[in-house]
């Protein structure tokens, strides 16, 4: 099974080189997506002496979801069988990657996602505020996505098959924080088999969350409602659900005007190959 790892990065000049070097040697392609960083992230990544490395750079900041989608599109163009996502800040343990890929290689799943709550180190490692937030969002996402047995919805350590990516409307995936909640609902709508895989929670001494409560409450609420409505519509929810989804689409377009403009400005994704 050929594999790629997508590394979305925004202002990660201090960590990006280590993140690149941590990717296991069996991975065929490493795709770093610099989401218009204001620091030397792209330069530090390009300086990494790794021959399987490719760098994409957005012309304008579009969000972590959009960065991952750009990586997915490149992986599809490369024709790889499975694509994993690892963080640019080194917050994902490379020893867990084989465990995420195994269900895909065995044909047991189309999408595998990390579940830090299934690892015994969680309660000593993850900050209490993150535990509380992840618990709430995981419970809500169970309902909106349709995957009632999954947990740790916000964990971005994932792996997906080429076949599953080809079924999802990548253009419609939410571009910013809330991306994993939206993607899960879209995977359910196309009948993808999704499994949880225990992964280690990693929070280094320099870790600091860039998430601010006042900037994510509305987007997350919007994403959860939209993803549920679109899933219901896709799975045959009837005209009432379609009308509500259309209304939510209009509200979403108004709320994401800035993201739409940034997307258009950032369509000139520049590709640079290192090695």
User: In this predicted structure, what is the pLDDT of residue 217?
Assistant: 63
Distances in Å between the Cα of 104 and the Cα atoms of 107, 108, 201 are 5, 6, 22
pLDDT-derived band at 131, boundaries 50, 70, 90: confident
Using a 10 angstrom Cβ sphere, with 0-12 exposed, 13-18 middle and 19 or more buried, the burial of residue 4 is buried
Of residues 246 and 116, more confidently modeled: 116
CA distance 185 to 137: 14
3-state secondary structure of 32: strand
pTM (global) more than 0.85: no
CA distance 184 to 197: 15
Chain Cα centroid distance, residue 154: 9
Cβ atoms 26, 47 nearer than 8 A? no
Minimum mean pLDDT among 9-13, 52-56, 66-70, 124-128: which range? Answer: 124-128
pLDDT tens digits along 3-33: 999 999 999 999 999 999 999 999 999 999 9
Instruction: Catalogue all structural domains in the chain, each as residue range(s) with its CATH number.
Output: 3-265 (3.90.550.10)
Contacts of 239 (CB under 8 A, 6+ apart): none
Cβ atoms 227, 189 nearer than 8 A? no
Select from 146, 112, 129 the least CA-distant residue to 236. 146
Select from 191, 195, 187, 80 the least CA-distant residue to 71. 80
Select from 3, 60, 48, 59 the least CA-distant residue to 27. 3
Cβ atoms 56, 32 nearer than 8 A? yes
Cβ atoms 169, 189 nearer than 8 A? no
Mean of all residue pLDDT scores within the chain? 84
β-pairing verdict for 82-85 and 3-9: parallel
**φ, ψ dihedrals at 10, nearest 5°:** -140, 115
CA distance 154 to 127: 14
Select from 61, 125, 63 the least CA-distant residue to 92. 125
Bridge partners (DSSP) of residue 4 are 29, 83
Select from 200, 195, 167 the least CA-distant residue to 102. 195
CA distance 16 to 22: 10
User: In this predicted structure, what is the pLDDT of residue 174?
Assistant: 93
pLDDT tens digits along 133-165: 888 888 989 888 999 999 999 999 999 999 999
Using the predicted structure, report yes or no on whether residue 258 has a pLDDT greater than 80.
Answer: no
Number of other CB atoms surrounding residue 86 within 10 Å: 27
């Amino acid at each position: 099974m050929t594999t790629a790892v997508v590394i979305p990065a925004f202002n990660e000049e201090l960590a990006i080189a280590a993140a690149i070097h941590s990717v296991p040697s069996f991975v065929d392609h490493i795709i770093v997506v610099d989401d218009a960083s204001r620091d030397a992230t792209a330069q530090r990544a390009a300086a990494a002496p790794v021959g399987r490395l490719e760098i994409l750079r957005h012309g304008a900041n579009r969000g972590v979801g959009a960065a991952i989608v750009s990586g997915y599109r490149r992986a599809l163009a490369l024709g790889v069988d499975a694509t994993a996502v690892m963080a640019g800040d080194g917050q994902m343990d490379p020893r867990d990657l084989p465990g995420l890929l195994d269900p895909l290689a065995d044909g047991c799943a189309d999408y595998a996602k990390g579940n830090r709550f299934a690892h015994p180190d969680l309660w000593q490692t993850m900050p209490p505020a993150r535990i509380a937030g992840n618990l709430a969002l995981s419970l809500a996402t169970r309902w909106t996505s349709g995957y009632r047995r999954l947990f740790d919805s916000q964990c971005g350590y994932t792996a997906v098959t080429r076949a599953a990516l080809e079924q999802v409307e990548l253009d419609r995936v939410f571009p910013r924080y809330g991306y994993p909640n939206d993607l899960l609902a879209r995977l359910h709508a196309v009948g993808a088999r999704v499994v949880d895989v225990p992964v280690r929670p990693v929070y280094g001494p320099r870790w600091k969350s860039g998430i601010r409560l006042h900037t994510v409450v509305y987007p997350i609420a919007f994403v959860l409602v939209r993803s549920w409505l679109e899933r219901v519509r896709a799975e045959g929810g009837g005209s009432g659900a379609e009308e509500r989804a259309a209304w939510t689409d209009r509200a979403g377009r108004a709320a994401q005007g800035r993201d739409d403009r940034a997307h258009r400005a950032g369509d000139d994704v520049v590709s640079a190959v290192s090695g």
